[in-house]
Structure formats: C-alpha cells, structure tokens
Structure 1
Amino acid sequence: MGEAKSSYASTETLYSVQYLRAAAALAVVYYHVSALSQETWGLDPERIDHVGAAGVDLFFVISGFVMAMIVGRPGAFDGREFWIRRIARVVPAYWVITFAVFALAWFMPHLFNSTTADLSTLMTSLSFLALDHGDGNTTPLLVVGWTLNYEIFFYAIVALTAGLFGDRRLHGASLLIISLVALGLWVRPEDPSLAFYTDPILLEFVFGILIYRTWSRTRQLHHGLALAMFLSGTVLLVLQWERPVGDLRMLFWGVPAAAVLYGALGTLTFRSPLLARLGEWSYALYLTHVFVITLYIKHIISAVTTIELPWQVHYLIMTIFTVAGAAAYHMVVEAPLSRWTLRSLRRPQPALKQTVRPTTGPAE
C-alpha cells in the first residue's frame, strides 16, 4: 500500500515515511498474528492486539500526504502519467495474489472458511470495486484488499479534481471526501457499497493532505514539537492496544496516526538502509503476510505439539518469516511486474495511418 520510494524522486529523502510504512505493515502483521492465534487456539478474545490494525489508518494518512506531494509538484499535472504510476505500483502485485487466492479456493476450498471461487467476486476484486456480493459483504477475494479499494477510490478523486479542475492543493478533493462522509453520517445508508464509500475512515486521507500542506510551508519542524507529536500519537495508540474502536476508528486511530506522521517528519530524519528497505517491502508484506501466518499457526505449530515456546519467540519467528516472504515477493514478483507495467503503459501508441480518398468534385 502506498507509493514506493523509487516512484517519486521528490520523496527519496523522506526516510521517515519509509520507516512508518515498515512500522504500519508490521503492526498489521501482529494484529493478524494475534487474531489468528485466538481463532485457532481459543484464547481470550479480549487480548487481541486490536490496535495493530491501526497500521491501515497510518497507511491512509501517509497516502494522503504522498498524493498531496505528487500533485503539488511544479509543472502541469499529467493525468495519464499519474494513473500509469498508480497502476504499476498497486495493480500487478495485487492481481497475482488475487488470482492465487481464486485458484486455491477453486481447487482446495477446504483451506478457507468463507472465501469461495466466485467469478463475480473475482471481477469486482480485480476492478477494486466494493460491490455487494449479495450477502451484504463487499470484501474482495484477498481480504486485506479492502484497503486497496479505498486507495483506488482516493486516487480517482485526486485525478478527477486535479486533472479536470486544476485542484493542485487538493482542496476540492478534501471537500469532496468530507461531503461524502457527512452524507454518510446523515443518511446512514443501508446499502453496503454506499456505506463503504461514505465511511469516516476516508477522512484519514484528508489528514495526510493537511499534514503535507502544513509541512511543505517550511519543511523544517521544531524538534520539540515534532517529538511531542510523535510520542503523543504513539502513546495514544499503545494505551488502547487491546481495545476495539468500531465506528470511532477515524478518531481513536486516525488522529493518533496523523500525529505520528507529523511528528516523524521532524524526528525520524536519520538514515537506516535496513528500515528503508523494510519500507520498500511494506506493500509486499501487506499482501503476503496472511498466507505466511496461516501456514505457521494453523499447520506448522498445530502439527508440532511437542515443542513449547514463549509467545515472544513465536512472534519473532513469524516476523522473520513474513519479512523474508515479503522480500522474496517484492524482488521476484512485485518489482519486475511494476517495471514491466510502467514500460508497457508508457510505450508510444502507433500512429494511425491516414487514409486519403480521392474526391469526385468540389461538392464533396
């Protein structure tokens, strides 16, 4: 999720954004480790690390920040290049995983609880559309892909307002998102798709836009203020580690995530090749981690009952395995497919040959 460092030159020095991507992806990993452990072994459901899911909220805030940075560059806004970069970054790696899930659900349905190899669900998943499957469910085949449906929707709003209306500051995009959320709070739509596209979680993209507008004025934050924002956001999240937030997600997780990003821009200015690389792998980690965790918890550990290990060791092992799997997926699948897609979409289209017809007279 989010734009890779190599995809936009103006953010190559923003190591803090890369570090936060790594942290956000790992937080989601730990949430799914906790939730799947509870599901498999019947542990106390109150002890699930719910706030690990706030890694998604941090991703959304970062996405708003990055899109504001990209659209705010000097020069004319190139809508075609904008979409080429978004498609190359997001689509190929996601489609590969989605087709893999569909194939597994088709040939080995016993591996899944509710996922089925349904062609209509496959098409909506590949289209990044949150459409009702008929049972009130809008979740794509790859469950974590619901966040990408929001990402693509946000990109469409940015492209619309910046491309058609010259909204380079994304004021129009922010106003449109706020209007959608206000409409949802007023109407309370029962249709799952309408509820999805008017959910208050959309405001987290606006948070990121506001952070960029504030940060871009000087790009120099007072260290004490930045540190206070970073620590306060982190503490607010840690204090509610095992507390599900429900409808108040944007408030309880989105606002602290915004504070973490704002503070990180002024505090996490050091250079760490390892953390930067983890940030580069964050999208692959987000797409693949559920498979690695499921394999470890439901099959490996469940089969080896003679070995007792502290939970910290299990977390360490799964961290290593998920990161290793993400690195492999990034290098073997994600990065090559992204480069190939960029080249293919940027390839000049052959000019149409003009056909000259003989005329029969002035009247024609």
Structure 2
Amino acid sequence: MTNRRNFLKTAALASAAVALQSFEGKPEEENDLSFVKGIKPIVLSTWNFGLKANVAAWAILKNKGRALDAVEAGVKIPEGDASERSVGYGGRPDREGRVTLDACIMDENANIGSVGCLEFIKHPISVARAVMEKTPHVMLVGDGALQFALSQGFVKENLLVEESEKEWKEWLKTSQYKPIANIENHDTIGMIALDAAGNLSGACTTSGMAFKMQGRLGDSPIIGAGLYVDNEIGAATATGHGEEVIRISGCHLVVELMRQGKSPQKACEEAVARIVNLTKKRNRNVKDIQVGFIALNKKGEFGSYCIQGGFNYAVHDATGNRLIDAEYFMH
C-alpha cells in the first residue's frame, strides 16, 4: 500500500512538473495550474474576424473575468471595424440603403437581451445587454430599440460607410437578390465562452444579409436560433442563412442534443443534417445555402460543422489563439 501511495504521489508530481514546464515563457497571469487542464477558460467565435475578437475576450477570461463580459467585449471588435462588411459599423445596407443591425446576448443564468433592426448605433450588442439588464423585456426592435439606446447614453452615428454605399448603388442597377454561400453578405460573429468559474455565456451580432428587404430579421437576434446557452450543458451559436437556422431553432437544438449526451461535434453535425433534409423536402438546392454551427460544452470540449466548405472559426484557450476550418457536409 505504501509503495502504491508513493507511486501515485510521484506520478502526480511528475505530471504537474510537465504541465508547469509547458507554461515556461508565458505571462505570469497564465502560469496558473487552473489552466493546465486545457478546459477553461476558453472562447470560440465564428469566421476569421473571430481571431481579433478572441483576443479582446481572452484579456478578460485570463484574468478570471466573467464570460458575459468577455463575449460582449469580443464581438464589439468587429462591430466597430468599418472594414468588416457584415457586422456593425461598415455593414452592408438593406435594399433601401439603411444599415440595420441585430444582436443578442445570454448569460449563465438564462438572462437574455436582444435588439433587431436597430439603426445608427455602432454597438448593438451593448444595447442588447442593456435590454437584458435594464428593462422588463427581452427584445426591442426598430425605432423603439433606437430610442431606448439613446436614453441609455448611446451615441447616434451614420453607419453607412463609403464602400458599402458604393456597393448598394451598384446593386440597385440590377436589384438581383440571391445570396451566395460563403460570400460575406450574410456573415455573423457569434461568440461563446466558458470562464474560469465554469460559467458559460454567448453573444451574436450582425448587419444581416446585404440588400435584404426592409424589416427582415435573421436568426442572430433570436435566442434559441442564432444563440443559446444552458449553463448546465453547453452553448452554441450559428452563422449563415438565418432563415434556415430559424427553421429548426438551430442553437437550441444543438444544446439539447448535447444534453442527450452527444459531443459538441456530433450535435452540430445532426443540426446541419436536419437543415439539409428539410431543404431537400422543400425542393430547394442545398448548394445555395450555407449554415455553420459552433458548440462548446461544460467540459470545455468544442466542435463545429457546416453545410459546405469555407466556414472557419477561432478558438482561444491557454494554448493560444487559432483559426480552424470547420468540417462540412458537402464534398
């Protein structure tokens, strides 16, 4: 028995030594054995602009900050970047030339906030959080959302940048509306995170499909479609053609599949399969649509799946920040 105890103690010390050695050269705040497990904190976000967004989120997570604060700070990076043409400031307008933004946010306690068709406010995610924390409602849209934002001190700004305006005027010559898969006219940043305390939160924000009909909402501001968080199970967010995600309540489905014991990867795969099957039943061409899901469970395991190649997502944990090409259905 004594030999066995000594063996276990030696093995544990050796494992800790290896773990500590792997952290040599890292900032002092990251030299913490809570990071050795590689489980938490961790943050995932959609598309390549997720890399920059993850950096902002990780600055909060690595200091044991709350996942809710991390996801808000993270998605605000592409929201405020005029060169990102599918999120926030710089987003492409609707067919009337109006930039309308959608966003939602959800914390570990199932508190939720959402805005839709919001104009003139650069950071709709922060307005969505204000809806969550300062109103009895969960969603505000259109002029009501704008008036609420202004009452909370948000600044009214022109969001239609020169390049987006030029594209809109060019589009008016033909007014052809046929979104193309993986062309950034319908992309979203969705972000989900697990913090050091083991709590999950998520955020999702977009300017929606370029040249959409005035008043159109996609999945991004809809809790259960573009984003869902269950702190007992996991979190998921989506990107792509929002109408198809709404059709299956996509992110709620992914989380429920994880509740049934599926891995984040398998849950994303089944959700995509349902969209594909429904698309075929409706006699629509699957090649015309793209939907991608990312998912994260309570253990820190993650996965992603999409209809066709071209979707990628960013992951940041104690090992670093990297971009991953998602597996896909169509080959």
Taking structure 1 as the reference length, what is the TM-score of the superposition?
A: 0.28
Specify the structure having the higher radius of gyration (Cα): 1
Q: Which has the higher contact order (CA 8 A, sep 6+)?
A: 1
Question: If the length of structure 2 is used for normalisation, what is the TM-score?
Answer: 0.30
Higher strand share: 2
